[in-house]
Structure 1
Amino acid sequence: MRTTPAQDTMDSPASVSSQSGAGRAARLRIALIAALWPLLAAPASAQDGGADLGRPFATRHAVFEPIGFGDLPGWNQDTLHEGADGMRQSCAALRRKQGWSTACAEFEAVDAGSDTALRGFFQRHFHAYRILSPARRADGLLTGYFEPLLEGRRDRDDVFRYPVYGLPADLLLFDASARAGGTRQWLRVQGNRLLPASAGGASAREYTLALDDITPGIRDKRLRVRIDGDHVRPYWSRQDIELRALDAPVLAWVSAPDRLYSMQVQGSGKIRLEDGSLIRVSYAEQNGHPFLPNITRGSDARMVLRAIKTRGLSAGGSSDVRSDPAISASVNDEVSRLIALFQGKGGSTPPPSPASRPAPTPSSPPKAAAATGISGNDAEVAAIIAALMGGGSASVPAPNPAPEPAPASATPPTAAATSTPPSPAGQAFAGSGGVPAALTNIPDPSYVFFRSSGDGPQGPVGALGVPLTAGRSLAVDPRSTPLGSPVFISTTDPAGNGPMRRLMFAQDTGGAIRGSVRGDLFWGFGDTAGRLALATNEVAQMWLLLPKTQVVTAAQGTGGPALRSLRSRASLPDCVIADPDLCVED
């Protein structure tokens, strides 16, 4: 049979050689496609290292499930370069910690202005874990805080008469575990620590521990105490502090006790002095008392919970208080004034104590409301005020409420960090001069002491010991979210711009920031930041990023059922990463 020209060509020696090469290339392509097909067809989570995902684990406070970066909602859209400084600050604090040295060393060489380069960096060096509550709920709560501005003076006068206290000389830290040694112990003072000592040893003395009604800090497991003769007692409450001449430096005197209280709630702030200069103060310590108000639940209490948006205010000891639909802006504008009702707007004559105030009738707003000039949504604001002042079914708690965690915006400072802070001129401001502070009638027994941290373009120093980055730093519960760690969040933008999905950094803590899926977003300094902070009260989901070389001390398993089979959460560790500086294990 006669062949066609094409057949003739294919059958020629040259054609056979060409056919052989083409066949090899085709077979190679097929083999390559076959090898890559599982990856090409796999979901995004497998593409970024499905086999390299971390193992699930759990602590007493949270459950952690590994997830691929491709499954993080919004991960590929986040403008990571805006948070590069947050990673830089975390590395400054953690580069010498186990598991962080390699990642931090490479970060220095990464193009911090490239979102693509930063995404590749995090995917190479970190595992991502979905944070769940012990009941395996993914939804949690995101609130906000900011750095306020106060007017102040170097010296006390009739108007500026409320002290911004530095660290008291008689406030000591005592490890809670030492209580196991009995109610009568030999102890010695070393710096700001009260330590166990040998009987009859140098500088040692025998004391009786009267510490039944005090709880330790959740992070450092230490009690805030004072020495009273041969007794060790809880440190003074706010009410006690205001009734005595405290042995502590005064960093400035301010005129508005409600703003001072707000700054204590926020954990830091700036004070503008009479010459126009600014000083920045940051959290130094807390007196160890529970953080209030602690409003009892009832018909009015629900409204109070919705209205109080300032950081840290909690209700009934609950760590999972959710916001109802946002109430009107005019009520939010009055939140700072509500605090003033506890002390009469900083007026010259303090109002009677909450217990002695007559309950206002529903038909007429309380007189205090008119005194503070509250306007807009009068009925709702009046109900809130009535609840805060003791009217209705919501009331200010009786003295000595059930203990709650102490608020903390920063790590307990070292002895060097807690020395008397200098003023901008290099001298400590005038002390109280043996005169008690002006009374405020604020019922919250907790009290925050500050240190001068110097003003500058960077944010205030948070619990990690590094400056906070506005919009990218997060206050967390350090037991379930290790300080310094990157944290990806998915929530609603409080400014009303749709979803907010971004990488943040756990660099601060707070007294009411407790629980597994719980964050407090730092918005920065000033009025705009304050409005955003007040507006932030959103349902959120969170994912923890841990270095792949990080040794997790929590209980690990091969899957969800393995973790669910754990018989008792009491047997689980308290911290994800046990660390003597960042999270002390029980």
Structure 2
Amino acid sequence: MRPADATAEPPPAVQGNWSSVKGWSEDEPAAAWPALLASCSRLARQPPWKPACDMASTLGSAPSSAQVRRYFEQHFVPWQLLNSGPSSEGLVTGYYEPLIRGSRTRNSQYAWPIHGVPSDMLTIELGDIYPELKPLRLRGRVVGNKVLPYWSREELSARGAQVPYPVLLWADDPIDLFFLQVQGSGRVQLPDGQHVRVGYADQNGHPYQSIGRWLVSKGELSLDQASMDGIKRWARENPHRLRELLNTNPSYVFFRELPASNAGPIGALNVPLTEGRSIAVDPRYVPLGAPVFLATTHPLSTRPLNRLMLAQDTGSAIKGAVRADFFWGFGEQAGREAGRMRQQGQMWLLLPKGVSPPR
């Protein structure tokens, strides 16, 4: 028989010191201060975080980088996140807030529905039964006396209007709508020029599958061509295979309309995301709202990108301790950066003294 700890997983984080945090002295952490204050609007309700957030409030809205660095070094401990293996490097991708064209009424130009949450979809919070599964939930539908998985993307498409979900808006381009779902939030420009903001409301419970990876596996694109722009180009050159392409990803995102705002889109923490300072994480390993120091590189380069970030969002494809999705902001330039970003990086979870990482 094996010893009891022989199959135990390695700890997802190891305690370090500030000198071990790669690039810590190179950043201008004051740029992350508004994002930290946004996180504290939620975290301060939790006793372990309240003293650190109260201390942050005494520094005001615009402290210097030296003050911010000193604040963290005095009140926080860096924990380096590790993958199984263990390895300290993981994948860092990018996302952004896109702008697509749409309408509140359907016609020949605007024919692709942006759906709200179906009224017949159940959400089962596993953490209500098993506390160790707190971040996990299932989506399903009732058939007789059974709960079955909710419909996949292909099944939703086939069932059409039989599915009881509202149509919020109508998009003019199916591939743009698909990438709106991948990003999780965005803006829709109406024919009169008005912008409507939509945000993630729920998801059908099926795992995300990369359509870029599918195109590469079929020999349709090379790995370096499988960027967002490359996928869009292929889709527009092969309209007869559009359904086939989209249905390889069974995941389907439902939206809600959000109030107009000049702030960033609302993330999973329910605070606006900050361009270049918010990341999406796996909440099994990184508490939502927590500061994280990210050491990676700019898209398609070896130029360092070492930044204090705030874990304010999640994503169905963001799985693992050393895994982050970097929020680049709104618009075309942000989209280009996000679409090219597939870098390796290291992450340090910054926790108030006396607080330990999730296990």
Which category of TM-score, normalised to the shorter sequence, fits these structures?
0.7 to 0.9
Q: Which digits, 9 at most, give the CA deviation of each residue in 1:75-117, with x for residues without a partner?
A: 1231111111110111011111131101111111115330111
Alignment partner, residue 92 of structure 1: 41
C-alpha displacement of 1:291: 1.6
RMSD: 2.7
Residue ranges of structure 1 left out of the alignment (5+ in a row): 1-58, 181-217, 311-332, 355-387, 389-440, 555-574, 577-586
- The answer for the alignment partner of 1:143 in structure 2 is 93
Corresponding position of 1:230: 145
Q: Which residue of the partner structure matches residue 226 of structure 2?
A: 308
Secondary structure of residue in 2 paired with 1:76: helix
Give yes or no for contact 2:215–2:221 (8 Å, CA) kept in 1. no
Larger radius of gyration: 1
- Aligned twin of 2:4: none
Matched, 1:282 2:199: yes
More strand, by proportion: 2
Aligned mates of 2:314, 2:102 — CA distance in 1: 27
Shift of 1:296: 7.2
Aligned to 1:264, the other structure's residue is in SS state: helix
Runs (5+) with no aligned partner, structure 2: 1-7
Correspondence for 2:25: 76
Match of 2:72 among 122, 131, 134: 122
TM-score, normalisation: structure 1: 0.55
Note if contact 2:235-2:241 (Cα within 8 Å) is conserved in structure 1: no
Q: Distance in 1 between matches of 2:67 and 2:134?
A: 34
Count the aligned residue pairs.
346
The farther-off stretch of 108-117 and 516-525 is 108-117
State the distance in 2 between where 1:338 and 1:222 align: 35
Q: CA–CA distance in 2 between the matches of 1:273 and 1:97?
A: 41
Show the counterpart of 1:379. Answer: none
The CA distance in 2 between the partners of 1:163 and 1:509, in whole Å, is 24
Structure 1 residues 249 and 544: CA distance shift in structure 2, 3 A: same
Give the structure, 1 or 2, with the largest relative contact order (CA under 8 Å, sep 6 or more): 2
TM-score using structure 2 length: 0.88
Give the C-alpha shift of residue 456 in structure 1.
1.6
1:485 match: 290
CA contact (8 A) 1:91 1:104 kept: yes
> How far apart, in 2, do the equivalents of 1:118 and 1:235 lie?
46
Q: Matched residues in 1 for 2:243 and 2:104: separation?
A: 30
Aligned in 2, Cα 1:542/1:269: closer, same or farther, shift over 3 Å? same
Q: In the TM superposition, what are the counterparts of 1:82-231 in structure 2 within 5 Å?
A: 82-111=31-60, 112-176=62-126, 220-231=135-146
Could you tell me the percent identity over the aligned residues?
40
From 316, 321, 340, the equivalent of 1:516 is: 321
CA distance in 1 between counterparts of 2:68 and 2:242 reads 58
Change (3 A) 1:95 1:165: same
How far did 1:288 drift? 0.7
Partners of 2:352 and 2:142 in 1: how far apart?
A: 43
Contact 1:110/1:121 (8 A) holds in 2: no
1:252 is paired with a residue whose SS is: strand
**What does residue 253 of structure 2 align with?**
448
Output the amino acid matched with 2:76.
F
Q: Which of 447, 452, 458 does residue 263 from structure 2 map onto?
A: 458
